[in-house]
Amino acid sequence: MARRYQSKLTWDDVTPEHLFLNRRQIMAGTGALLGAGLIGGTAQAQDVLEPNTWEEITTYNNYYEFGTGKTDPSANAHTLTTSPWAVEIDGMVDNPGTYSFEDIMAGVEVEERIYRFRCVEAWSMVIPWNGFELADLLARVGVQDGARYVAFETALRPDEMPGVRVPVLDWPYREGLRLDEAMHPLTIMATGIYGRDIPNQNGAPMRLVVPWKYGFKSIKSIVRITLTDEEPPTSWNMANAREYGFYSNVNPNVPHRRWSQDSERRIGGGLFARRVPTLMFNGYEEDVASLYDGMDLSENY
């Protein structure tokens, strides 16, 4: 069923050579901004962004609505109905309303973005997402003057989500960004991985990806987007404000209250799995550091 966007990329195309060429195309297409994010910085110069396998990306997940174990989402998330799907867009916008998935996809351009992904639990992957810039969707609905934040909500369906019977978090899962973070060209709504529809366990049919922030900011299966002038409440911050700040930028200099954040375990590679140093803003410093000029990033963690 070709309901969702399919890129022209097929599984067989995903070879290192293809990725190399693709990376150059992306750099040529969007200029230094994204290029720097993909390769930038001295530490990353030798670090070829070799994506994790489909298997790794889709079987080692966090999606607490389907259980707290890493393999629970891939085992349980098939129960989520993702078609039809609609997203309510409300608050300080010119065109509030309930937009169907198809309607949203008709107005945006989907591209491949190979991003580093860093979980607050100190593991990481490289994921070839297919998605569109959130800024394109926000432009379409018309952000009103005075809006300063964007709030997001995941679907809450007790009949389809066995994990929400357990009050690990105050459901629905909620996240938020400052408007300039949401409008940044690195911020995407992902709808695919490796050119295939995004699987339920990774947040079908549409999930946020903010590559310079800890993974929990990248909220899955979004049903509501609200433009507001107040910093919105977020699930992890509500659960434990000392450990999870609103910003949650990847910052190796600010330890989590219970563990260090200065290195990470690369998922995959079996016996050769490596621990590598964590990079400021997850390697996207050149692209995003200016968003936080003048802010104390140890206070605003």
Q: Is 63 in the site for ligand MTE (CB under 6 A)?
A: yes
Minimum CB distance to ligand MTE smaller for 5 or for 173: 173
How near is the Cβ of 101 to ligand MTE at its closest, in Å? 17
State the Cα–Cα distance between residues 14 and 122, nearest whole angstrom. Answer: 27
State the Cα–Cα distance between residues 261 and 251, nearest whole angstrom. Answer: 7
- Which residues between 81 and 140 bind ligand MTE (CB under 6 A)? 119
Neighbour count for residue 23 (Cβ, 10 Å): 18
Q: Is 61 in the site for ligand MTE (CB under 6 A)?
A: yes
Nearest residue relative to ligand MTE (C-beta): 215
- Which residues between 181 and 220 bind ligand MTE (CB under 6 A)? 202-203, 215-216, 218-220
For residues 42, 263, 56, 273, the Cα torsion angle rounded to the nearest 10 degrees is 90
Q: Give the residue carrying structure tokens 């000392």.
A: 242
Minimum CB distance to ligand MTE smaller for 37 or for 203: 203
The stretch near ligand MTE (CB under 6 A) out of 12-20, 58-66, 89-97, 258-266 is 58-66
Cβ(201)–Cβ(67) below 8 Å = no
Tokens of 248: 């949650």
Q: Is 5 in the site for ligand MTE (CB under 6 A)?
A: no
Beta strands at 207-209 and 263-266: parallel, antiparallel or unpaired: unpaired
How near is the Cβ of 146 to ligand MTE at its closest, in Å? 28
Q: Is 244 in the site for ligand MTE (CB under 6 A)?
A: no
Q: Is 173 in the site for ligand MTE (CB under 6 A)?
A: yes
Among 65, 111, 112, 181, binds ligand MTE (CB under 6 A): 65
The residue type of 109 is E
State the Cα–Cα distance between residues 70 and 81, nearest whole angstrom. Answer: 21
Helix (H) or strand (E) holding 228: strand 222-228
Beta bridge partners, 226, equal 90, 151
Minimum CB distance to ligand MTE smaller for 35 or for 73: 73
How near is the Cβ of 57 to ligand MTE at its closest, in Å? 7
Minimum CB distance to ligand MTE smaller for 216 or for 281: 216
Cβ(93)–Cβ(105) below 8 Å = no
Q: Is 154 in the site for ligand MTE (CB under 6 A)?
A: yes
* Binding residues for ligand MTE (CB under 6 A): 61-65, 119, 154, 173, 202-203, 215-216, 218-220
